[in-house]
């Protein structure tokens, strides 16, 4: 939805420079059209029996969640707080699934009282805890064990989750015993099996590899008289952060996975996050100062690692583009924030036209794991967020004030 009108970079029909002037920088900007298009590319290709649960940890802004809830999305949550946000945004509890290795008793109780659809259980002790709390509340619930299928997608090590030796799920070789042992709990019903192998995966093969292992495990579980109705394939599909990358379409993921389970009469859940939110959002910022040091050129912006931590945390690449087309000669620059950390950078060694102080830059594809992961480190108030819809732009989160920095402190 990014496009140039003459020399001005626009999101849908709105000039980014006008957003910067109206709402101040740094600023998160989202395209409603892109967000809905991304969700519909899942929804329209998956068939009736499949539930698409948006992984709301990628972007949990209330307005964004509401748009997806209205489209009929389910939600993949990872904390009591996320369940609260999703219920507030209008998601049906019957479409909420809940994963996470460290669900507390309070979170489990909250999820049970709100009658979420299913727990994605990551350890045997967790299942015992859910059963006990459900008994106390005189209720029953449904669960899937999250299994770790030991596949190795080629992605950053911090976002690999389905490889042996990570903290996630239970080893797939223990799955049959886990399901059999679970029969002793009377307040939890085994309804599905879950796996989520990692994030920013651009190759379908590891998904298929995991599905094949899960198929084999299910057949062993079902030999013992249990029925696994739902297969939850997790999220993880990547996006093209760079022009050299190509992301597979959801329809391709579906066809590969459905093919593995052909003729088995299963229901499916998918939990996409990044592939729905990432390219729908961008971080707009301003060049404050320029300087040269040690043979390098620096552009110092009013956005920093507290606003977008992905470059710092995962050495993630975000394309950075000036919002005015320029014929000026290009120089190699590091784009950095004002924070007192050498890790505070947004891009390194980027060829950008020579920019003046006060010019705006767009850090692209920051809609997932952007605002949601931001902090107020260095007492930098949380940013505002704006949703663009055609030619209109609406504030969907106010910028925090200095006073907000003291919120709850005593």
Ligand X SMILES: *Cc1c(COP(=O)(O)O)cnc(C)c1O
Q: Which two tokens stand for residue 55?
A: 């992984």
Locus of tokens 């729908």:
280
Q: Which helix (H) or strand (E) holds 31?
A: strand 27-31
List 273, 322, 347, 370, residue binding ligand X (CB under 6 A): 273
Residue 175 or 335: the one with the smaller Cβ distance to ligand X is 175
Which of the following is catalytic: 56, 86, 233, 340?
A: 340
Measured CA to CA, the distance from residue 49 to residue 336 in angstroms comes to: 47
Query: Applying CB under 6 A, which part among 53-61, 174-182, 223-231, 282-290 lies near ligand X?
Result: 53-61
| Given 74, 149, 272, 311, the residue binding ligand X (CB under 6 A) | 272
Dihedral sign computed on CA atoms, order 251, 255, 256, 257: positive
Residues 6+ apart with CB under 8 A from 48: none
Residue 199 touching ligand X (CB under 6 A): yes
Q: How far apart are CA 186 and CA 205, in angstroms?
A: 38
Annotated active-site residue 340? The verdict is: yes
> Is position 310 an interface residue for ligand X (rule: CB under 6 A)?
no
Q: Does 160 bind ligand X (CB under 6 A)?
A: no
Q: Which is nearer to ligand X, 57 or 380 (CB)?
A: 57
Of the residues 149, 169, 206, 235, which one makes contact with ligand X according to CB under 6 A: 235
Q: Is 196 near ligand X (CB under 6 A)?
A: yes
**Three-class SS of residue 350?**
strand
Residue 126 binding ligand X, by CB under 6 A? no
Q: Which residue has tokens 């599909």?
A: 237
The answer to whether 335 and 311 have CB atoms below 8 angstroms apart is: no
Give me the 89-108 binding string for ligand X, x by CB under 6 A, dash otherwise.
----------x---------
CB of 221 to ligand X, least distance (A): 20
| Residue of the chain from 95, 103, 266, 274 that contacts ligand X (CB under 6 A) | 274
Interface residue with ligand X among 36, 42, 76, 185 (CB under 6 A) is 76
> Which of residues 141 and 199 has its CB atom nearest to ligand X in the complex?
199
Q: Are 253 and 52 in contact (CB under 8 A)?
A: no
Contact 374, 26 (CB under 8 A): no
Q: How far is the CB of 232 from ligand X (least distance, A)?
A: 8
The piece of 124-132, 184-192, 216-224, 267-275 that touches ligand X (CB under 6 A) is 267-275
Give alpha helix (H) positions in 156-229. Answer: 175-182, 205-223
- Minimum distance of ligand X from residue 196's CB (angstroms): 4
How do strand 360-363 and strand 281-293 relate by DSSP bridges?
antiparallel
Taking the least distance from each CB to ligand X, the nearer of 10 and 190 is 190
Stretch that binds ligand X, among 15-23, 79-87, 234-242, 291-299 (CB under 6 A): 234-242
Distance CA 42, CA 302 (A): 35
Residue among 74, 80, 153, 236 that touches ligand X (CB under 6 A)? 236
Provide the greatest CA pair distance for the chain. Answer: 71
Tell me which of 9, 19, 57, 160 binds ligand X, using CB under 6 A.
Answer: 57
Among 14, 19, 55, 388, binds ligand X (CB under 6 A): 55
Is 58 among the residues that bind ligand X (CB under 6 A)? yes
Length of the chain: 410
Alpha-carbon distances, residue 233 vs 198, 269, 387, 404 (angstroms): 11, 6, 30, 40
* Beta carbons within 10 angstroms of residue 147's beta carbon: 26
Binding site for ligand X (CB under 6 A): 55, 57-58, 76, 78, 99, 196, 199, 234-237, 271-275, 368
| Catalytic center residues | 340
């Amino acid at each position: 939805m990014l496009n140039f009108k003459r020399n001005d970079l626009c999101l849908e029909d709105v000039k980014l420079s006008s957003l910067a002037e109206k709402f101040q920088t740094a600023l998160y900007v989202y395209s409603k059209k892109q967000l809905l298009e991304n969700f519909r590319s899942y929804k329209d290709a998956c068939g009736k029996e499949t539930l698409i649960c948006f992984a709301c940890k990628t972007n949990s802004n209330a307005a964004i969640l509401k748009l997806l809830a209205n489209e009929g999305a389910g939600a993949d949550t990872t904390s009591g707080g996320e369940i609260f946000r999703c219920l507030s945004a209008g998601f049906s509890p019957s479409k909420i699934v809940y994963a996470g290795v460290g669900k507390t008793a309070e979170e489990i109780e909250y999820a049970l009282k709100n009658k979420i659809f299913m727990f994605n259980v990551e350890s045997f002790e967790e299942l015992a805890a859910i059963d006990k709390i459900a008994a106390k509340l005189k209720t029953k619930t449904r669960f899937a064990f999250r299994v770790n299928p030991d596949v190795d997608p080629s992605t950053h090590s911090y976002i690999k989750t389905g490889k042996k030796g990570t903290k996630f799920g239970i080893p797939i070789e223990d799955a049959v015993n886990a399901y059999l042992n679970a029969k002793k709990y009377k307040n939890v019903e085994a309804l599905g099996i879950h796996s989520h192998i990692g994030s920013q995966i651009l190759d379908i093969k590891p998904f298929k590899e995991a599905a094949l292992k899960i198929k084999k495990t299910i057949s062993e579980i079902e030999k013992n008289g249990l029925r696994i109705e739902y297969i939850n394939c997790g999220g993880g599909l990547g996006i093209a952060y760079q022009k050299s990358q190509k992301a597979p379409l959801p329809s391709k993921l579906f066809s590969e996975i459905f093919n593995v389970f052909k003729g088995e009469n299963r229901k499916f859940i998918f939990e996409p996050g990044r592939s729905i939110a990432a390219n729908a959002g961008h971080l707009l910022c301003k060049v404050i100062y320029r300087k040269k040091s040690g043979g390098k050129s620096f552009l110092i912006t009013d956005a920093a690692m507290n606003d977008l931590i992905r470059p710092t945390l995962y050495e993630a690449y975000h394309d950075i583009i000036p919002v005015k087309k320029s014929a000026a000669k290009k120089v190699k620059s590091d784009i950095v924030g004002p924070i007192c950390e050498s890790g505070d950078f947004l891009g390194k060694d980027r060829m950008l036209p020579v920019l003046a102080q006060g010019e705006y830059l767009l850090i692209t594809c920051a809609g997932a794991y952007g605002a949601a992961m931001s902090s107020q480190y260095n007492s930098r108030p949380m940013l505002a967020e704006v949703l663009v819809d055609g030619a209109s732009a609406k504030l969907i989160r106010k910028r925090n004030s200095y006073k907000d920095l003291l919120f709850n402190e005593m």
